[in-house]
Structure 1
Amino acid sequence: MAQDTLAQRWKHVRERVDAACRTAGRDPSEVTILPVSKTHPPEVIEQALALGLHRFGENRVQEIRDKAAALPDRGVEWVVIGHLQTNKAKYVAQLAAEIQSLDRLDLAEALQRRLELEGRELDALVQVKTSPEPSKYGLPPAQLIDFLDTLRDYPRLRVRGLMTMAVQSEDDAAVRACFRMLHELRDRARTAGHDLPRLSMGMSGDFGLAIAEGSTEVRIGTAIFGARDSV
């Protein structure tokens, strides 16, 4: 992909996100974009770095390992957005700046142990399952407050907010309902004493709806990097 094409796509996405914010009556500065670079090679990330981007979302830990090795000392912040097995916690503790898919206690325990060994801390968003689809991961909404209470015992994990993936549907009301649920859950958690400033929700196809429901970060892949060679 030529750099000017990537630059144009990034500019267009930023403009679309800003427009969605204005339509929702929000300040565009309230919503950040997480470029999702999964399946794209280090050469493409080099182009993105040249545009001033430095945070990239990845689904697979193996990709983070390979890309981190190819891009040493470049100040890249790798963000884990995919479902994570506990046996991959070692590499997340070593390489990632953030995980947005924290959804169960055994994963928190594994990350805490590995972070202690690495002498590091890790920003974390709790992934909540707001969609009825069996293919979607996430903590059941009813368990959120108890889970957040328990995470206080894992100080290496700095819980900053919540993440979700909406139902895949042509029905905008159904999609918005998923995002609205996450916002309401965040408000309940705040009442229970948990400071959760961030809501990561919305992707290339539905970020406008997410922004209307209070998203503070949208995860955009294809619209920035183009079609993927593989999934």
Structure 2
Amino acid sequence: MSIAQNIAEIENKIFANKVKLVAVTKNHSVSAMLEAIAAGVVAVGENRVQETLAKYPEVTVRAAKPVEWHLIGHLQTNKVRQIVPLIDLIHSVDSERLAVEIDKIAGTLGKRQEVLVQVNVADEDSKYGISVNQALPLAKFINNLENVRLCGLMTIAPFSENPETVRPVFKELYQLFGELKGLNLANTDIKWLSMGMTNDYMVAIEEGANLVRIGTGIFGSRQ
């Protein structure tokens, strides 16, 4: 199927749940991104700072309509200065040090940078993210930063051919999301639960996700 047909099929599945789609564009061309935007995508997600910097100018000029830019991959503190001017939502804040650097750079731009805390629910060594028991303390820390607004949580579940096996991961993050909302932190806007990718997004939605990150399901395999 075409990119437009893939998007239509995904949006038909998620529409009733009021879930937002982020098209993951890592290793996909600007022309493919433009095709996705023309087909209705309102948010694109990049994993790497350098790739974002390379694509951003051309996409911004050529896209038929404005699009949100999300950074969904790991962010090193030394790359914050480059990426904060471009990004609407950073999904991958996992330390006080990174949050402080984002706050500093956003402050120089007169910007309130929206972020999610990335939680490594499954405690996988191969993935970034803060542990479940450290997530709420980090949220409270971010709440005290002037130029950062915490908007929710993100996780990457272990890959599995059977998405039912990772349902407990999504269930646990949804519970944590509820606890975070219950803190009623004054300077936050807790609205996004970012979980679910091509292989498991419907299970993630069933467990409360309202932001899903889909690449292969839209664009096919990465080049």
TM-score (norm. length: structure 1): 0.88
1:221 and 2:212 equivalent? Answer: no
Identity of aligned residues (%): 36
Aligned residues: 217
Greater shift in the superposed pair: 47-56 or 36-45: 47-56
How many Å apart are 1:47 and its aligned residue? 1.2
- Report the equivalent of 2:2: 5
Partner letter of residue 68 of structure 2? Answer: E
AA aligned opposite 1:32: K
Matches within 5 A, 1:174-189: 174-189=165-180
CA offsets 1:140-164 (integer angstroms, 9 cap, x no match):
1111221111112212211111000
Gaps (5+ residues) in structure 1?
Answer: 19-27
Match of 1:17 in 2: 14
Q: After superposition, where does 1:71-90 map in structure 2 within 5 Å?
A: 71-73=59-61, 74=63, 75-90=66-81
Q: Indicate whether 1:206 and 2:204 are aligned.
A: no
Task: Check conservation: 1:167, 1:174, Cα contact below 8 A.
Answer: no
Shift of 1:46: 1.5
The alpha carbon displacement at 1:171 in A equals: 5.3
Deviation at 1:14? 1.6
Residue 94 (structure 1) aligned with residue 85 (structure 2)? yes
Name the residue aligned to 1:35: 23
Distance 1:172 1:95, change over 3 A: closer
Deviates most, 132-141 or 77-86: 132-141
Amino acid in the other structure paired with 1:17: I
How far apart are residue 32 of structure 1 and its match?
1.3
- Where do 5+ consecutive residues of structure 2 fail to align? none
- Bigger CA drift: 49-58 or 165-174? 165-174
Q: Distance in 2 between matches of 1:170 and 1:179?
A: 16
2:54 match: 66
Where does residue 169 of structure 1 map in the other structure?
160
Task: State the Cα distance separating 1:169 from its structure 2 match.
Answer: 2.9
Q: Does 1:52 find its partner at 2:40?
A: yes
Within 2, Cα distance between the matches of 1:102 and 1:207? 21
**SS class of match (2:190):** coil
Distance 1:174 1:155, change over 3 A: farther
Q: Aligned to 2:44, what secondary structure does the other structure show?
A: strand
Give per-residue Cα distances to partners, 1:63-107, cap 9 Å, x unaligned: 111111222344232100001100110122111111000111111
Residue in 2 that maps onto 1:152: 143
The Cα of 1:49 is off from its aligned counterpart by: 2.2
> Once the 2 structures are TM-superposed, how far is the Cα of residue 189 of structure 1 from its aligned partner?
1.7
Task: Name the amino acid aligned to 2:200.
Answer: D
RMSD (CA atoms)? 1.7
TM-score of the aligned structures, taking structure 2 as reference length: 0.91
Are the counterparts in 2 of residues 132 and 167 from structure 1 also a CA contact under 8 Å?
Answer: no
Offset of residue 197 of structure 1: 2.1
Secondary structure of the 2:2 match is helix
- The residue aligned with 1:110 is 101
Give the superposition deviation at 1:58. Answer: 0.4
